């Protein structure tokens, strides 16, 4: 690993006027959860909606004129695609991006909008990456890997320099982690200047390749992954960042799907920030393990590119996880006024009914009863009646709402 503080400072100079210096926002509600100051490094407000432009531009700018003339190629379903497309446009070279079939339409349109050619291949990014490598071998284009190159790591490390300048008293920095490029770059920068600061990588528990890899001493591939945090769903750590993570990162923690969706919802409501699931995992770690990190802490919000359809799904999941959104099935007397009585009971609990599906002929109901499925959202102080516990709700109530602020 030849990436050091000098390489990151050179990347910072190169990126002047290209990548913006993203804001650092103090979060009062998270500070209350952790018991000390917490700041949010808002890379979701970066150009292209994520930190990826930092590494992509640094990598492409480092190519020779002859290499840039042959064009660049990448594989991505979202953030890296947009970073490569914009960087190539700014540097005057052609970009081709392989995307898996079914990639979110907003990300496809944004990538095309930056001038890249799109080729759909395979169901997963790994399959698209194989096709991108074959294209590079066939056409002579340069493959721009999303994390496994020293220039990529150096570019991402510029975020670490900004963190230290914007939060000079920081004691803990939490970084969303997939292949490890962002984590490696930030860790190199921070440890070179402030070795006392703890650098923590955060992975989705259902897609955490780093814990076993670090334990074995080399990158290990996961057999399978299943997480809403698709931006960090990487099955194997990169060879280049792995060594830096070994040397400079203090620990890796994992977070559940429940807390990831709750973190996304909280950022939307309390901080007024749109963040994708992968970008919210650092906040999820603070919420799931509030006593595990020394304050002042900085949580990196690595990206905000989220499909509106997925956003709606994750919001509902987060509300259910927080006990604010509930679906339940109830058997009621099949007589006039039966459904009205149920709705009256809900109203008495200050519940707002979103929809009702009522079946008088359900084969699962006794002949004297009908079956109703209700989805409802409760008010801040409302709790479901004890008798509803027998109705096998699909989600449980556990926490209350509070007024939004930062």
Q: Which residues are catalytic?
A: 52, 302
Check if the beta carbon of residue 28 is closer than 8 Å to that of residue 406. yes
Can the peptide bond before residue 114 be classed as cis, meaning omega within 30 degrees of 0?
Answer: no
Phi and psi dihedrals of 40, rounded to 5? -110, 120
Helix (H, G, I), strand (E, B) or coil at 117: strand
Q: Identify the sign of the CA torsion 147, 151, 157, 158.
A: negative
Q: Is 180 left (phi over 0), alpha (psi -120 to 50) or beta?
A: left
Half-sphere exposure of 218 (CA within 13 A, CB side): 0
Structure tokens at 275: 């963040």
> Quick one: how far is CA 218 from the chain centroid?
25
DSSP per-residue codes, 339-405: HHHHHHHHHHTTEEEEEEEEESS-TTS-TTEEEEEEEEEE-TT----GGGGGG--SS----------
Structure tokens at 10: 């050179």
């Amino acid at each position: 690993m030849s990436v050091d503080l000098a390489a990151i400072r050179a990347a910072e100079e190169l990126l002047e006027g290209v990548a913006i210096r993203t804001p650092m926002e103090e979060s009062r509600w998270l500070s209350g959860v952790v018991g000390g100051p917490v700041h949010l490094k808002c890379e979701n407000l970066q150009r292209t909606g994520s930190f990826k432009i930092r590494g992509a531009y640094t990598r492409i700018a480092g190519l020779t004129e002859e290499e840039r003339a042959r064009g660049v190629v990448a594989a991505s379903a979202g953030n890296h695609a947009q970073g490569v497309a914009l960087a190539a446009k700014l540097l005057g070279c052609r970009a081709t991006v392989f995307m898996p079939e079914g990639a979110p339409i907003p990300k496809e349109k944004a990538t095309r909008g930056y001038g890249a050619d799109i080729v759909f291949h395979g169901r997963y990014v790994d399959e698209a990456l194989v096709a991108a490598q074959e294209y590079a071998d066939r056409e002579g284009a340069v493959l721009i890997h999303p994390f496994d190159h020293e220039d990529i790591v150096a570019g991402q490390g510029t975020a670490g320099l900004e963190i230290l300048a914007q939060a000079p008293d920081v004691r803990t920095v939490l970084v969303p982690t997939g292949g490890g490029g962002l984590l490696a770059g930030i860790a190199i920068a921070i440890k070179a200047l402030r070795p006392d600061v703890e650098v923590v990588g955060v992975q989705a528990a259902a897609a955490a390749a780093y814990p076993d890899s670090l334990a074995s001493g080399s990158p290990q591939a996961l057999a399978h992954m299943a997480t809403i945090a698709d931006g960090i769903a990487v099955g194997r750590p990169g060879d280049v960042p792995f060594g830096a993570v070994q040397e400079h990162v203090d620990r890796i923690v994992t977070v559940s799907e429940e807390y990831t969706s709750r973190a996304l919802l909280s950022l939307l409501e309390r901080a007024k920030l749109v963040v994708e699931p992968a970008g919210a995992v650092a906040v999820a770690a603070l919420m799931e393990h509030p006593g595990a990190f020394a304050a002042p802490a900085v949580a990196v919000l690595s990206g905000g590119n989220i499909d509106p359809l997925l956003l709606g799904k994750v919001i509902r999941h987060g509300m259910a996880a927080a006990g604010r959104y509930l679906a339940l099935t109830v058997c009621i007397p099949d007589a006039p006024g039966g459904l009205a009585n149920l709705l009256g009971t809900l109203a008495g609990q200050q519940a707002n009914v979103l929809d009702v599906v009522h079946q008088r002929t359900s084969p699962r109901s006794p002949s004297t009863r009908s079956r109703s499925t209700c989805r409802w959202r409760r008010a801040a102080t409302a709790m479901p009646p004890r008798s509803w516990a027998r109705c096998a709700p699909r989600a449980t109530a556990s926490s209350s709402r509070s007024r939004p602020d930062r």
